[in-house]
Structure formats: C-alpha cells, structure tokens
Amino acid sequence: MAGHVCNTAESYLNRMSSMLGRLDHDAIDRYADVLLEAWLRDACVFVFGNGGSASCASHHVADYVKTASVDGQRRLRAMSLVDNKELLTAIGNDLSYEDVFAHQLESFAKPGDVAVAISCSGNSPNVVSGCRWAKKAGMPIVALTGFTGGTIGALADIHINIPDDNYGIVEDLQLSVGHMVAQRLHCRVRDHAAGNGGRKAS
C-alpha cells in the first residue's frame, strides 16, 4: 500500500484531526453553492472517481439527491458515473479505461451541468480525462483530492484538498465533505423555498 500507514487507532485519529484543521471551509461552502446554482437551473451534477473514490462518488450522489432534498421542492439531479457497470466495462473493454468518464460526460452532459471529480492522488488518468473533457465543454469542475492535488486540482474551479498521503484519512474526509455539502445544500434549498433566496443557510 502506497502512502503513510498508521499503526494505532490513536495515531490515525490524531492524523485525521490535524487534517480536519486544514480543510478549506470556504471552498466547501462554495461547492455547496455550485450545487445550489445547478439546482436552480435544473442542471445535472456528474460525480466520478476510482476505487474508494468511486464509492465516495456514489455516496455523495445519494446524499445530494435524498439527504439534501426538501419536501415540496424538486430534487437536485445528480448522477454517479461509476454505477452503470455495463456501460463502464463496455467503454473500458472496447475503447479504453482512460475514457470511461469522458465518454459518459460526452454522452450525458449538457451546457450548465457540473463535474465533480474525486481522487486521492489527483492524477488518475480516467479522472483527468473526464476533467479535461468537462473543461473543454465549459462545465464547472469541483475536485476533491488528497496528496498535493495533482492534475485535477489544477483543472478545477473549486479545489478541496486534504494534504495527506494516507488513503484512509483522505477518503474519510472526502466522504465528510459530501455530508457537509449535502446538509448546507438542504439548508439553502429550504431557505430558498421560504423566499429568501437561500441566503440564510445555517
């Protein structure tokens, strides 16, 4: 396993605590605001990543569609690009694994849609390819990364970086970012429905 590995629960929690203190709160709130803007214009949010980041992408989408929903209001349209195994493996087998996200974005994305890329290294070739396609298409890009952010961090409009090389800690905090964003989005949609434009989220 590449990267730092903790040998006790205490060392893991201490390391995670230090990373919590380095999260960019403003960037996380801006991420939620991008999703609110997508909701307002009925745009779709496409989330993607590999391995643990693929699981994180699916979890984010579940929270953005369900947890962030407000009774009586239409829900955010969000889609994980890792969940159609038939399409994913067909593109990987018949074209290339590097194309699995870019090909889907080319198939599904419309102007005004949003791309959310999740990667520990920030350098996974298929995630980079997806971000490059999104950039050319003019899609806003949010990147959640670890390590030093890699290529997708440089491509993103909003970059949320956990500057650690422990995969577990990076993935734990990326999942937490999704929870933070879903709850803020719920508050923004709730307040918008109350007639104040979502300005009083708490």
pLDDT digits (tens, 9 = 90+) for 16-34: 999 999 999 999 999 999 9
Q: What is the pLDDT of residue 1?
A: 54
For the CA atoms of 180, 114, 16, 7, what is the dihedral angle to 10 degrees? 130
**Residues 101-104: contacts with CB under 8 Å, at least 24 apart:** 101/48, 101/126, 101/127, 101/129, 101/130, 101/133, 102/126, 102/129, 102/130, 102/132, 102/133, 104/46, 104/48, 104/130
Q: What is the pLDDT of residue 5?
A: 86
- The pLDDT tens digits of the residues spanning 110-157 come to 999 999 999 999 999 999 999 999 999 999 999 999 999 999 999 999
Q: What is the pLDDT of residue 200?
A: 46
Percentage above 90 pLDDT, the chain: 93
pTM here is: 0.93
| Distances from the Cα of 120 to the Cα of 140, 145, 190, angstroms | 20, 5, 32
What structural domains and CATH numbers belong to the chain?
22-192 (3.40.50.10490)
pLDDT reading at 196 higher than 90: no
Q: What is the pLDDT of residue 197?
A: 56
CA atoms of 48 and 131, how far apart (whole Å): 10
CA angle 104/108/113 to nearest 5° reads 110
Q: What is the pLDDT of residue 97?
A: 98
CB contact at 8 A, 115 and 142: yes
Q: What is the pLDDT of residue 201?
A: 43
Provide mean pLDDT across the span 62-75: 97
Q: What is the pLDDT of residue 2?
A: 67
